[in-house]
Amino acid sequence: MHLPEDLVVEILSRVPTVSSLARLRSTSKRWNTLVKDGRLAKKHSAYAPRQSPLVIMLINFRVYLVSINLNNNVPPSAKVTCQFSLKDPLSIFSKEIDIRSTFHLDGLLLCNTKDNRLVVWNPCSGETRWIQPRYSYKDSDCYALGYDNKSSCYKILRMHRFFVGNILHIESEVYDFASHSWRGVGESTSWFITQISCRRGVCVKGNTYWLAGGQYEPRNDHFLLRFDFSSERFQFLSLPADARRDYGNMALSVTKENQQLCLLATQVLDINVWMATKIESTGAILWSKFLTVTGADIRYRLQFNIGMSFLVDHEDKVVVSCNSVFPNIIHIVGEDKYIEVNHHGAQPRHIPYLLSYVPSLVQIQQGI
The domain total for the chain is 2
Domain co-membership, 207 together with 298? yes
User: 26 and 135 share a domain?
Assistant: no
| pLDDT tens per residue across all 368 residues of the chain | 678 888 888 888 788 777 777 777 777 888 777 777 767 777 776 766 666 678 888 988 999 888 887 776 777 777 888 888 899 988 888 899 999 999 999 889 999 999 999 999 999 888 899 999 988 899 889 999 999 989 889 999 999 988 888 888 899 999 999 888 999 998 888 888 888 888 889 999 899 999 888 776 555 577 899 999 999 999 988 888 776 655 567 889 988 766 789 998 877 677 889 999 888 877 788 999 888 887 655 555 555 665 678 888 888 888 888 876 667 778 888 777 777 777 766 676 677 888 888 888 888 864 43
Strands (E), 165-269: 167-176, 181-188, 191-192, 202-204, 207-214, 222-228, 233-237, 249-254, 261-266
Residue 365 lies in a domain: no
Q: How far is CA 240 from the centre of its chain?
A: 22
Q: Can you give the pLDDT at residue 124?
A: 85
Residue-level length of the chain: 368
Give domain status of residue 366, yes or no.
Answer: no
298 and 329 assigned to the same domain: yes
Judgement on whether residues 237 and 345 belong to the same structural domain of the protein: yes
Q: Which of 34, 51, 68 is the last residue of a domain?
A: 51
- Residue 87 within a domain: yes
The radius of gyration of the chain's CA atoms, rounded to the nearest angstrom, is: 21
How confident is the model at residue 346, as a pLDDT?
67
CB atoms within 10 A of CB 38: 12
- Whether residue 346 lies inside any domain: the answer is yes
The whole-angstrom separation of Cα 358 and Cα 362 is 11
Asked if residue 363 belongs to a domain, the reply is no
Q: For residue 200, which phi and psi values (nearest 5 degrees)?
A: -115, 35
CATH of the domain at 160: 2.120.10.30
Measured CA to CA, the distance from residue 136 to residue 143 in angstroms comes to: 14
Asked whether residue 362 is domain-assigned, the answer is no
pLDDT on residue 73: 72
37 & 144 share domain = no
Domain annotation covers residue 291: yes
List Cα–Cα distances, 309 to 50, 139, 178, 194, 344, in angstroms.
25, 21, 33, 15, 18
The pTM for the full model equals: 0.87
Domain that holds residue 14: 1-51
- Asked if residue 276 and residue 153 are part of one domain, the reply reads yes
Is there a single domain that holds both residue 39 and residue 171?
Answer: no
Residue by residue, DSSP assigns 110-162 as: EEEETTS-EEEE-TTT--EEEEPPSS---TT-EEEEEEETTTTEEEEEEEEEE
Domain identity same for 34 and 117: no
Note whether 32 and 139 are same-domain residues. no
| 92 and 151 belong to one structural domain | yes
Same domain, 198 and 347: yes
Residues 300 and 217 in one domain: yes
* Structural domain contains residue 26: yes
Q: What single DSSP character describes residue 295? A: S
Q: Residue 267 is which amino acid?
A: Q
235: CB partners within 8 A, 6+ apart: 225, 226, 227, 228, 283
